[in-house]
Structure 1
Amino acid sequence: MNNRINNTDDLLPPQNVAAEELLLGSILLEPDNFAQVSSNLPIEAFYITAHQKIYKIILNLYLEDKSPDLITVAAVLHDLNLLEEIGGLNKLKKMVEQTISTYNIEQYAALIKEKYLRRCLIDSGREITSLAFDFNSRIENLFFKAEQSLFKVIQKKVSNDLLPVSDILLDTFLDLENRLNNNKLNGLSSGFEDLDSMTQGFQKSDLIIIAGRPSMGKTAFALNIGFNVCNKEKIVVAIFSLEMSKQQILYRILSYKTLISLTKLRSGRLSSDEWKIINHALKELHSLELYIDDTSYCSINEIRSKIKRLLSKKNSLGLIIIDYLQLMESRNKFNNRVQELSQITRSLKNLAKEFNIPILVLSQLSRAVESRLNKRPLLSDLRESGCIEKNTILINHKLDESLVVESVYTNKIINYQTYVLNNNKKNITTYSINNIKFTGYKYTYQILCEGGLYIRLTSNHKILTNNGWKRTDNITPKDKIYYICHSNSYYRNSLIKLISVISIIYYSKEKVYDLEITEYKNFIANYFIVHNSIEQDADLVLMLYRQDYYNHNGIDDNTCEIIITKQRNGPIGTVKLKFDATTTQFSTFTLPYTKNKVN
């Protein structure tokens, strides 16, 4: 039987006036009851406007640590000339008188919230209907807006209250006991024991980046992990391949599974025994919950929609793999690709948190790695770090010895003492530069301030403003920047003041450098306070390096180093795996080797 109403134009919106009156009466009668409903019941949840005004007064009194009783609420309404508007003192008295018991206040709140959510659902439906008539927008964007509209309604249903530690301790204890008895990893196993021992598996809501230069085996490594997770954990794995087709992905997995070379599989010249192996492998692969999407230049919104559709069919999802980051697109427009990639990684991290699953994304490293003698990748190769221009002055404790950054780098000045800002933002002190790196030629921007003072930085370098740390590309003429008013006699007595920004302009492509000062995370440059570390969205960064790609020495042939350059909750270090390029298979060494671990 279909109970759906087709014409709703003449119907009153969902409401429960009686529940609203009983809830307000319960609070006016016993003000302490308000704490039970305040966190989960917004003002707009009340349908009657007069009830919204009463509830708002109650909320304000509660926030001011005053009792929202009948007399106090009536007095405030009177002072605001709202008492008669809501029905007078008799209206408030009636609410109290009809409240027989305050015991059911949470039940009243639930009834009010349920009707409120129905009204929100109606508003969302109308919004989605109007979107369908927007013929100037792409259908993909309309789907995203419709999804967001409905998601906002769903979010209003969720209550995220603060929980006391006592409520969490039991779950924590049971989790620890379960791990002790089962001797299981905390997260998903990669299938490589040495790597798992350092990472404790891939954790829920983590963003994991696998990075490397071309031909290092990034895709093969990710597919090995995806297959291992899907096969051993028996859970759903989704692969978004923005570069390879579905068939290419399957060929790689089949080669890895059967140990038949990829070249031989593609040629089709197989023996009868090899056909038997393939048939057996195909049967095993058929039973796996492995899903592949090969849409090129996919956006975050499209990936989110596809994940939701998959979840609607499978109810759970264990791991997402995206190949690769630089091929992804953002729905927003940016001035440069660095900003766009930064926004994409933040969105991927939010996606991992939203679905509470690990997301493994591949990233291509720039050619800067090739210019070094030691070609092992570093975390800074991934960062697209904010950098300072070559002629930036690094303020030394002896002002007559202050040098430009390029000079410190070129002359290999060790432990160069420069000025930094202490945490209280009032005290200037000195500290040694731990490391300084030339990061190439990059586009720089000049921030010009009053008095002709300026500094030149890359778009994503942060500088201290009256609104906290801000990236160069987020600075506007409305901002004020902290500046050091120095004294030639004694720098520690220098004053820190705010000066106005006049303009921000593109300067030129210049040599730039990245500084590292571990203790304070900032330094004084051109008398401005600039940040020296770039925030990363990744929880775990794995970088691949194969010595035999550059030099066949017979010792490191078929060896791939998995370099953990960042781990938010664990050690960094290196794990060595055997790599068979013919079958794209990674495996653990049977012979012992030294595992480099840094706590």
Structure 2
Amino acid sequence: MSSATALVTRLETREANFRVQPHNIEAEQALLGAILVNNEAFYRVSDFLQPEHFFEELHQRIFELMSGLIRAGKIATPITLKTYVGELDLGGITASQYLARLAAEATTVINSQDYGRTIYDLAIRRQLIGVGEELVNVAYDAPVDMPPREQIESAERRLYELAEKGRYEGGFQKFDQAMRLAIDMAASAFQRAGGLSGISSGLRDLDQRMGGLQRSDLIVLAGRPAMGKTSLATNIAFNIAKAWRAERQENGELKSVDGGIVGFFSLEMSSDQLATRIVAEQASISSYKIRQGRLTEAEFARLSDVAAQIEKLPLYIDQTGGISIAQLMARARRLKRQKGLDVLFIDYLQLLAGSSKNSQNRVQELTEITTSLKALAKELSVPIIALSQLSRQVESRDDKRPQLSDLRESGSIEQDADVVMFVYRDEYYLKGKEPRPGTEDHNKWQIEMEAAHGLAELIIGKQRHGPTGTIALQFDADVTRFSDRADQSGLPERLE
């Protein structure tokens, strides 16, 4: 009886008692035999195949021993492995005889990678079965303090982890492949409106400084309360969603050509509050007038028209508060899969929780959050704009313009972010410093207020791909709208 027949017979006996999970013993034997004959076959599968991916326990043991010997610079053959495998009864043959037959019946080294992928795919299917079985069992016997939502998110997280594991591409690529990607990016920038390599924010000067929002970038937008972080984020989100234009590819999928599909995690404000801000900005109506219902007939008509336009935009809002970084990642992946996703906004970082419920160190927790967000940006190939609070030490300085050192709770924000921007409005601070009317100081204050009125500064404190510096924006506080300042070069020359 051959080695393959003996093992298959043993498995058939096992199948008579219960349903056996998907496997391919012959593929496992063929791969192990190929490695025993030519150790070079090991390097064709070593970057994605692990011992636990084999179905048969003996094969797991053999592959583990092979890996150890080959990586130590030794030769793995039936003779060198014989000492480590031990003496087992495999249906009438010993382990050393089994190794010899594996080598004798080996396939060629050329096919080793295909067999490795077969083994790997079957292992992923078995893990899928495990997730499904656990899902059913937990649903039957879930503890009282485990709501169904938590179980769903746990299962979803495990499924996406499997989806990431279930890939054997990656590793080194030839430089010409990377160069082709760079040329494709340049071609897209050439064809895209505005000639940007990234997605346009809708703000001219910001786009010129950054080349648009770049895929896979983690962009941190920070500022003190009342500076307008959320307003700027919603303005950019709306601009991107409004500009969205897509083309259908040969495979039937839609590919964004301009603008993008936007996901917005609003951890602080409810979705209706966020919607009110966007509608107020686009209709040029103060949000407090909308909330209080103090609208004229013309304003209400304008509001209705704007709302009808906004309804059609690819802008998706998640208003769930207090979610963990793991839950956020699962939901972002789900949105990407179901609706598509080109840009993701998070308002704001400090309201996210780490994945560990028992974490006592907030700095470590925030480090996990920023590291995970950077990994998510790369995984989904989208820019992530995460808002962040600044520490109170800003208020103690005479010049209250933010610096990188003001980022709250963790240096990991500065470390993991590709771009760090600060929103600053001098007008906000000047309002609280009004001197007594009629004095010379009051006259100076009025001049300063006039100069600062409606002026916002967007300070780029860090940018991996380009220069830092300050961008001047116009801010209309009544309708919470940021826009480009008038281009000074196009204005008539001033006479002094």
How would you bin the TM-score normalised by the shorter chain? Answer: 0.7 to 0.9
Offset of 1:99 from its aligned partner?
4.0
Aligned to 2:185: 175
Aligned to 2:146: 138
Check the 8 A contact 2:367/2:413 in 1, yes or no. no
CA distance in 2, matches of 1:331, 1:57: 35
Which one-letter code corresponds to 1:91 in the other structure? Answer: Y
Offset of 1:15 from its aligned partner?
1.6
**Structure 2 residue 55 is the aligned partner of structure 1 residue 50:** no
Offset of 1:364 from its aligned partner?
2.3
Secondary structure, aligned partner of 1:583: coil
Secondary structure, aligned partner of 1:75: helix
Check the 8 A contact 1:43/1:56 in 2, yes or no. yes
Aligned to 1:510: none
Check the 8 A contact 1:20/1:108 in 2, yes or no. yes
Of 115, 120, 123, 1:113 maps to 120
Check the 8 A contact 2:407/2:413 in 1, yes or no. no
Check the 8 A contact 1:43/1:55 in 2, yes or no. yes
Which one-letter code corresponds to 2:209 in the other structure? Answer: M
Of 526, 531, 536, 2:415 maps to 536
Deviation track 1:125-162 (CA, whole Å, cap 9, x = no partner) reads 33334443240543354344333433343333112322
Check the 8 A contact 2:391/2:408 in 1, yes or no. no
What RMSD over aligned residues (CA atoms) do the two structures have, in Å?
2.9
Aligned to 1:17: 25
1:368-407 equivalence runs, <5 A: 368-384=393-409
Offset of 1:220 from its aligned partner?
0.8
Check the 8 A contact 1:50/1:85 in 2, yes or no. no
1:78-477 equivalence runs, <5 A: 78-80=82-84, 82=86, 87-99=94-106, 101-132=108-139, 133-135=141-143, 137-139=145-147, 140-159=149-168, 160-180=170-190, 182=192, 184-234=195-245, 235-314=260-339, 316-332=340-356, 333-335=358-360, 337-384=362-409
Indicate how the Cα distance of structure 1 residues 198 and 34 shifts in structure 2: closer, same or farther if over 3 A, else same.
Answer: same
Offset of 1:260 from its aligned partner?
2.1
CA distance in 1, matches of 2:361, 2:96: 62
CA distance in 2, matches of 1:226, 1:304: 19
Secondary structure, aligned partner of 1:536: helix
Indicate how the Cα distance of structure 1 residues 254 and 189 shifts in structure 2: closer, same or farther if over 3 A, else same.
Answer: same
Secondary structure, aligned partner of 1:228: helix
Which one-letter code corresponds to 2:373 in the other structure? Answer: L
Check the 8 A contact 1:74/1:83 in 2, yes or no. no
CA distance in 2, matches of 1:20, 1:192: 57
CA distance in 2, matches of 1:223, 1:57: 56
CA distance in 2, matches of 1:147, 1:253: 32
Indicate how the Cα distance of structure 1 residues 289 and 181 shifts in structure 2: closer, same or farther if over 3 A, else same.
Answer: closer
Offset of 1:103 from its aligned partner?
4.0
Check the 8 A contact 1:77/1:83 in 2, yes or no. no
CA distance in 1, matches of 2:415, 2:111: 48
Which one-letter code corresponds to 2:333 in the other structure? Answer: K
Which one-letter code corresponds to 2:280 in the other structure? Answer: S
Check the 8 A contact 1:57/1:76 in 2, yes or no. no
Deviation track 1:168-215 (CA, whole Å, cap 9, x = no partner) reads 233333433443465632222111111111112222232222221222
CA distance in 2, matches of 1:50, 1:542: 56
Which one-letter code corresponds to 1:77 in the other structure? Answer: L
Check the 8 A contact 2:34/2:109 in 1, yes or no. yes
Secondary structure, aligned partner of 1:298: coil
Which one-letter code corresponds to 2:215 in the other structure? Answer: K
Check the 8 A contact 1:187/1:202 in 2, yes or no. yes
Q: How many residues align?
A: 437
Larger % of helix: which? 2
Offset of 1:574 from its aligned partner?
0.2
CA distance in 1, matches of 2:128, 2:48: 18
Secondary structure, aligned partner of 1:40: coil
Indicate how the Cα distance of structure 1 residues 233 and 184 shifts in structure 2: closer, same or farther if over 3 A, else same.
Answer: farther
CA distance in 2, matches of 1:271, 1:312: 43
Which one-letter code corresponds to 1:582 in the other structure? Answer: D
Check the 8 A contact 1:190/1:228 in 2, yes or no. yes
CA distance in 1, matches of 2:288, 2:227: 18
Secondary structure, aligned partner of 1:563: strand
Secondary structure, aligned partner of 2:196: coil
Which one-letter code corresponds to 1:327 in the other structure? Answer: L
CA distance in 1, matches of 2:29, 2:415: 50
Secondary structure, aligned partner of 2:243: helix
Deviation track 1:447-481 (CA, whole Å, cap 9, x = no partner) reads xxxxxxxxxxxxxxxxxxxxxxxxxxxxxxxxxxx
Check the 8 A contact 1:16/1:112 in 2, yes or no. yes
CA distance in 1, matches of 2:409, 2:107: 65
Which one-letter code corresponds to 2:162 in the other structure? Answer: V
Indicate how the Cα distance of structure 1 residues 61 and 326 shifts in structure 2: closer, same or farther if over 3 A, else same.
Answer: closer
Check the 8 A contact 2:190/2:196 in 1, yes or no. no
Indicate how the Cα distance of structure 1 residues 30 and 124 shifts in structure 2: closer, same or farther if over 3 A, else same.
Answer: same
Indicate how the Cα distance of structure 1 residues 16 and 376 shifts in structure 2: closer, same or farther if over 3 A, else same.
Answer: same
Percent identity, aligned pairs only, is 38
Offset of 1:34 from its aligned partner?
2.8
Of 5, 28, 35, 1:27 maps to 35
Which one-letter code corresponds to 1:259 in the other structure? Answer: S
CA distance in 2, matches of 1:9, 1:547: 77
Larger % of strand: which? 1
